[in-house]
Amino acid sequence: FGHVKSKCKEQKDVCLNCSEPAHVSDFKKEKCLNAQKCANCTGGHHTLNGACPIMKNEQEIKRVMAIDNVSYFEAKKKLGLSKNNVKLNTNLDNNLNNLSIDKSMINYAEITKKGKAVKQEI
């Protein structure tokens, strides 16, 4: 997560559908016919599936980083995630409820909506 292919530490490309060494060409729009297996959690879904627990954890880490202005590792600590339990974290919702997040804060989406309204008035 959070890096481009050229910066990936994995030595081999993997198929996004089955997690086997890349055997189809994205360039040629070929489709893998193997059973789905996530490269992140080994679950029975496509690697980029938003329901993947690893992807959800990473999204929450990024959210905490943005809201609390903390590093990646500090956000993982706030969420109760460590190297040992990132893939198997079952307490994510409980940990999120314990964060001191001001729900009344204006978020980015609201700011951009207001910006568009101001531009339209001008």
Q: In terms of domains, do 72 and 22 share one?
A: no
Q: In terms of domains, do 74 and 27 share one?
A: no
* Distance (Å, whole) CA 87 – CA 39: 12
Report field, pTM of the whole predicted structure over 0.85: no
Gyration radius (Cα) of the chain, Å: 19
Q: In terms of domains, do 93 and 44 share one?
A: no
Answer whether residue 23 is part of any domain: yes
Q: In terms of domains, do 95 and 59 share one?
A: yes
Q: In terms of domains, do 11 and 38 share one?
A: yes
Answer whether residue 42 is part of any domain: yes
Q: In terms of domains, do 54 and 112 share one?
A: yes
Answer whether residue 2 is part of any domain: no
Q: In terms of domains, do 80 and 117 share one?
A: yes
Answer whether residue 60 is part of any domain: yes
Q: Taking the chain (122 residues) in consecutive chunks of 10 residues, what is each chunk's mean pLDDT?
A: 72 84 72 90 90 91 93 91 53 51 58 55 46
Distances (CA, A) of 76 to 14, 50, 72, 92, 106: 26, 19, 6, 10, 24
Task: Report the domain count for the chain.
Answer: 2
Q: In terms of domains, do 81 and 67 share one?
A: yes
Contact predicate 108/100, CB 8 Å: no
Question: pLDDT digit string (tens) for 75-98?
Answer: 999 998 865 554 444 444 455 455
Which residues constitute the domain of residue 84?
Answer: 50-122
